Structure 1
Amino acid sequence: MKLTATALVAVIAASVLTIPTASAATGTPQDSLRDRVNAVLETGTVGALARSTGPRGSRSVTAGETDTATGAAVRPGDRFRIASASKTFVATVVLQLAGEGRLSLDDTVEDWLPGVVSGNGNDGSRITVRQLLQHTSGLFNYTADFPVLASVDGFEAGRYTTWTDEQLVEIAMRHRPDFEPGTKWSYSNTGYIVAGMIIKKVTGHSWQQEVTHRVIEPLHLRNTSAPTTETRIRGRHMHGYSDFGDSGATIDVTEVNPTAAGAAGAMISTAADLTRFYRALLGGQLLRPAELKAMRTTVPAPDLDVVWPGAAYGLGLLRIPLSCGGAYYSHPGDFPGYTTRNGVSTDGRRVVVLAVTGDGAADLSTEHAQNELIDSELCA
């Protein structure tokens, strides 16, 4: 959820991350995947699991601990917080509603939520639904002024607080827009909170209900959920750990009220369920051709060049160049203690999902290792 300028760029400012060159695999594909997962763990993470799926089937590898208190090992089916990977689910629902003629991507925020985006130069009548999903709205990113995600003390004080969407948007409204709508690109969790509110206004149901009804249930994603206020993760799951960049005591951050993330990043899933979702989405099972084309139509995302050179953003999907040519689709996710990385071939036939817990290294080594795993598996 904390992805990009406010989360990653601060760490990466002193260096540039280049796309890795896929090296010749040694041993079996399973051995290669195991080596790359171990490489991620060795950068200082607590636990890691990866699932790589292609025409010949799926391979899963785990490393590290799922719970440092018990020493239990990570298992392939463990659940985890997927953070901003939730945005692809939310964008899918909005695009389904557009395909049904219940809203238009060119509708404005003001059309659906009169007066919600206003003040300090914010004007919902100038921001379209498309711009919300594309991160070209200019809305201030509320998580940049949100103590719950900024420090150990802030997290401990607010981890069980229930936040309304209106409260989260109000945080953004205290700030002037970052730019005029449609003129630039900048990652904003606020845009997806507003998109979730529009889903409710259009359907009469919360974004959680619509994601469940339209995506989770039809695809039989039995280990995926869009929680409302439940703070724990049900079933076998990976515990998250973070020191929030304080270089102090690391705490268990697994329990948190998901309303802090809302439609911008509250969902829980597994590697297998995410694989099924991405294959269905890019394979054309969830969206009509026109809406899938809109989702895949990207604009430059220069803020991300320091992490993924040449990356571009569509509607809830990121397009990232491959070292072997071509590109893949993705939506990374970052939440305190949890990192989700994924890659999907353009036809949806190859999918790689990586879940990592713990903050990882203070330098770029964790990000390098994660990117190399995704790129190498898709190029294999």
Structure 2
Amino acid sequence: MPILRALLAAPLVLTLLTVGSANLPSEPHLPAASSSLSRLVVEGPAPAAALLAHEGAPGGVERYESAGAGIGADDRFRAGSITKTFVAVVVLQLAREGALRLEDSVEDHLPGLVHGRGRDGSAITLRALLTHTSGLSDYTAALPASDPVFTGTAGPSAGPLTPTAAVRAAVARPPVAAYGSYAYSNTNYVLLGLVVQRVTGRPYAAEIRHRVLLPLRLTGTSLPGSDSALPSPHSRGYHRSPVDGRLREVTAVDPRIAGASGELISTLRDLDRFYAALLGGRLLAPAELAVLLDTRTAGGAYGMGIYPQRLPCGTTVWGHNGLIAGSYARTAATRDGRHVLTFRLNADARPGTDLEAGLLAAEFCPPARSEGG
């Protein structure tokens, strides 16, 4: 599978039930989570993996674990489509301020951009973009598999894909779903980035810095724009060839291919802090947070820049995952944000569904009690 074509593949669980309440575990689950983390390396998805869990209020207990060599607790890494949660927060804040409405159409803010192939921007709302129910094709599917950006080695001869060009490439393709039906598409969040710039007069990256990164002091998080290098400290990122299984380094990537759909660089600690703050009500008012977490529009699969996953023990966790050249990351948190976990791989390989679910269950599900215990 091309690396950036799966910039963030669809969420792992697409049919989820109602939100479950989750109490903090009464004892640490690190040994079980550590075992699951080791399997991610032993079974081959990536050379190394790491996790950071946080329990309790700010200043609570942190637990770090790693498997494999060459990965560190403070590494900067590409977070891929976890970017979408940050973008959704900014859009909802702008809605609160009256700069836009979720029922505004794309045409209201970006006239003439979405037109053709059965799609009309005047009939697509910002709410549909946020919930992936616009039906728009994913622009990454329009790029040829031979394009250098898929290997993470885009050079001077490969010009950057602008947001406008990305949208036009998507609109030129047939819709992937009927309007109102859930179909994950990176194009939706590229459009939201353009809308944010149109209504604020500043790039979406500047709004994320002003509204999220600075208030939460997320000093390890950045939106690199055209800078292909990772800030220090960082580990190397790898791509495993589907042909011969060999690893090739893809640490340097032109992030403009991802843009508002996935350019974020962050750390384990910053992502834990961001989701804890978001779900703890520090970025959105209760009514706005309820809108963010409302999955009804997407049939239970997705809220706005965030999705739920129901674990075997009945606990539901909220978060996002991100897949981009050289990196896979996943953050999950309880509904109140008091228990959060971020794990990452230093390769663009998604772990098996069972492996990932097992790691989350080991962290968030209470340990089984023996009879009479």
TM range (shorter): 0.7 to 0.9
CA 1:101 to 1:252, structure 2 compared with 1: closer, same or farther past 3 Å?
same
Q: Write out aligned runs for 1:27-42 (5 A).
A: 29-42=29-42
- Other-structure match for 1:96: 93
Work out the CA distance in 2 between the residues paired with 1:351 and 1:293.
19
8 Å Cα contact 1:333/1:340 also seen in 2: yes
Unaligned runs of 5+ in 1: 10-24, 66-72, 303-310
- Other-structure match for 2:210: 213
The one-letter code sitting in structure 2 at the alignment partner of 1:168 is A
CA 1:197 to 1:221, structure 2 compared with 1: closer, same or farther past 3 Å?
same
- Other-structure match for 2:339: 350
- Other-structure match for 2:7: 2
CA 1:155 to 1:161, structure 2 compared with 1: closer, same or farther past 3 Å?
farther
The one-letter code sitting in structure 2 at the alignment partner of 1:37 is L
Does 2:47 align with 1:43? no
The one-letter code sitting in structure 2 at the alignment partner of 1:135 is H
Q: Write out aligned runs for 1:58-73 (5 A).
A: 58-65=62-69, 73=70
3-state SS of paired residue (2:184): coil
Deviation at 1:8, TM superposition (A): 7.9
Work out the CA distance in 1 between the residues paired with 2:241 and 2:172.
24
Work out the CA distance in 2 between the residues paired with 1:85 and 1:191.
14
Work out the CA distance in 1 between the residues paired with 2:247 and 2:107.
43
3-state SS of paired residue (1:320): strand
CA 1:241 to 1:150, structure 2 compared with 1: closer, same or farther past 3 Å?
farther
- Other-structure match for 1:371: 357
The C-alpha deviation readout for 1:76-102, integer Å capped at 9, x for no partner, is 111110001010000000010011111
Does 2:300 align with 1:323? no
3-state SS of paired residue (1:58): strand
Report which stretch shifted further, 52-61 or 292-301.
292-301
Q: Write out aligned runs for 1:3-18 (5 A).
A: 3-4=8-9
Work out the CA distance in 2 between the residues paired with 1:212 and 1:149.
34
Deviation at 1:51, TM superposition (A): 0.7
8 Å Cα contact 2:79/2:328 also seen in 1: yes
3-state SS of paired residue (2:215): coil
8 Å Cα contact 2:275/2:337 also seen in 1: yes
3-state SS of paired residue (1:217): helix
Deviation at 1:146, TM superposition (A): 1.9
Deviation at 1:149, TM superposition (A): 8.3
Work out the CA distance in 1 between the residues paired with 2:146 and 2:67.
27
The one-letter code sitting in structure 2 at the alignment partner of 1:167 is A
8 Å Cα contact 1:316/1:331 also seen in 2: yes
The one-letter code sitting in structure 2 at the alignment partner of 1:320 is Q
Deviation at 1:312, TM superposition (A): 1.8
Q: Write out aligned runs for 1:258-277 (5 A).
A: 258-277=255-274
8 Å Cα contact 1:360/1:366 also seen in 2: no
- Other-structure match for 1:181: 179
Percent of pairs identical after alignment? Answer: 39
Instruction: Please tell me the root mean square deviation across aligned C-alpha atoms, in Å.
Output: 2.5
Q: Write out aligned runs for 1:288-303 (5 A).
A: 288-299=285-296
- Other-structure match for 1:332: 321
Deviation at 1:150, TM superposition (A): 7.0
The one-letter code sitting in structure 2 at the alignment partner of 1:4 is A
8 Å Cα contact 2:40/2:355 also seen in 1: yes
CA 1:212 to 1:157, structure 2 compared with 1: closer, same or farther past 3 Å?
closer
The one-letter code sitting in structure 2 at the alignment partner of 1:60 is Y
Report which stretch shifted further, 243-252 or 211-220.
243-252
The one-letter code sitting in structure 2 at the alignment partner of 1:2 is L
Deviation at 1:180, TM superposition (A): 3.1
Q: Write out aligned runs for 1:163-202 (5 A).
A: 163-182=161-180, 184-202=181-199
8 Å Cα contact 1:338/1:356 also seen in 2: yes
8 Å Cα contact 1:143/1:149 also seen in 2: no
CA 1:312 to 1:179, structure 2 compared with 1: closer, same or farther past 3 Å?
closer
CA 1:313 to 1:244, structure 2 compared with 1: closer, same or farther past 3 Å?
farther
How many residues get paired? 344
Work out the CA distance in 2 between the residues paired with 1:114 and 1:373.
45
CA 1:201 to 1:269, structure 2 compared with 1: closer, same or farther past 3 Å?
same
- Other-structure match for 1:22: none
3-state SS of paired residue (1:162): coil
- Other-structure match for 1:162: 160
> Which of 57, 64, 70 is 2:61 aligned to?
57
Work out the CA distance in 2 between the residues paired with 1:153 and 1:316.
24
Work out the CA distance in 2 between the residues paired with 1:245 and 1:207.
35
The one-letter code sitting in structure 2 at the alignment partner of 1:107 is D
